Structure 1
Amino acid sequence: MIGLAHAGLGALTGLAIGLTGVGGGALMAPALIFWFGVEPQSAIATDLWFAVLTKLVAVKAHHGEGQVDWQVVRRLWWGSVPVACLVVLLVGHGVTLGKPEDLIASVGVLVIVTGLGLLMAPHLLKVGRMRRLGRPERFKAVQPVLTVVGGAGLGFCVALTSIGAGALGSVLLMYLYPLRMTPHRLVATDIAHAIPLALVAGLGYLWAGKVDGSLLLDLLAGSLPAVLVGSLLSRSIPGRWMQILLATLLLVAGMKVLKGVV
């Protein structure tokens, strides 16, 4: 029998992913840990597979409209996937990257950074446009390298906490590609990058037996229809209002996470 509370959380997160590309890790991981009492590594592992399967539905809807910028996605992959593989390899071989409370604190910090990043998105976009238009040749020369480096940072965050591919990735792309990324293309490109990244990280946790299959099915029962609806609505609903709402939720959730480990 489907757990209605879990399905409801999945639906809320799936709708956010479809509309903005954000919400997989940043919303799901804190909710599973603090609202449902799921053990941190199990919450991260289950969340990674939730993100993979939910975003597959979303990217199919967006790709059908030709919105994914595959050149940018490949640049991100060059940085994110190898770093995620390295982190998963270390964890799989028993290397401890921190105490459980340190892991929870990392989740809280990243959720707060994600919320702040969403609030500051217009300013970062403005700065990116000024740099792009003011020194176009220099900006374009460093774009690929900065994209790979930024992808590496996202890979580390996602493999360790399941957080970062959505909101932090979208903020990064807004700054590095201020003229190229329309709101719809930004969502589609960010989602396309996140899928193999979450898959690589999720495989390591699956091998370690950390994925809660029953919980995952409950979450997907809510998220798969909702993410499709969100993807279809993403062109008609102002993305900025969704960003502000998500940022508020993330800041509250992040502070709650940190309060729980202090």
Structure 2
Amino acid sequence: MAEWSGFYPCTCIAVDAQAYGGNNDRRQSEIQHDLPRILSRAAGGTGLDRSQWHIQPKGDEELAVHPMDGTEPRLVDDFVRHLVSELREYNGTRVPTARMRLRAAIHHGPVELADNGFAGTTVVTTARLLSSRHLYDALTTHDGADLALLLSDDVYRSTVAGGHTTLSAADFRCVTVREKECEAAAWLQVPGHEVRRPGAGRPAVDQPEPPTREGPGGDFAGRHDYRGEQISVNNFTAPVDLRGGVVGFGSAGG
């Protein structure tokens, strides 16, 4: 197992089983037995050695930390892919109420091996990502998904945006995480599913609203951000004054 002294650049991978507390005693024990084995098989399928990771188990949750060694793109890409595959196989033999669905977060930065675990804001930020409402909402919105993942902005930019994985920006949606003292941008992925806002019927990306410009007299001059939900359809049977208005023509079928 890799050791280091002081604060050293590390990668943190945290996972947590969804709705663990709602299970009975036997099911909770089963989850604690099966979770590390699923993670180990996923790592083995990726060619990564989990025996070199410092692992802090917490029942239905696990935090793994290891010094950055160039395998970060494989963690974000291959490890996550194998983890989804392992969860799919595991859940395929169980009734829906016995599925294991995971929230996961990956971040990197300075970490110290402390007397009672790990020290550093990197570890704290990883924990805040893992507890973000965005992960809970993603699993609620995508009921068929077995995993929802948040990458910190640093991890996303150094791996996905940097072109070091097989993933693309279309696989993610940028969100803002606000948990306790943490407020940070992060990137949400639901492997195998198009990332949607909770309750939405189609993919969406957080983007600012287009700017508007007001002309003389308060009229919107040069504005081109008309939206379908803002358009009113009227039938006129007499002359009307349409100065300042916008008129569109279309067939009855749209």
Question: Quick check: which one's helix share is greater?
Answer: 1
Name the TM-score, length of structure 1 as normaliser: 0.32
Q: Which structure carries more relative contact order (alpha carbon 8 Å, separation 6+)? A: 1
Name the TM-score, length of structure 2 as normaliser: 0.33
State the structure with more CA Rg. Answer: 2
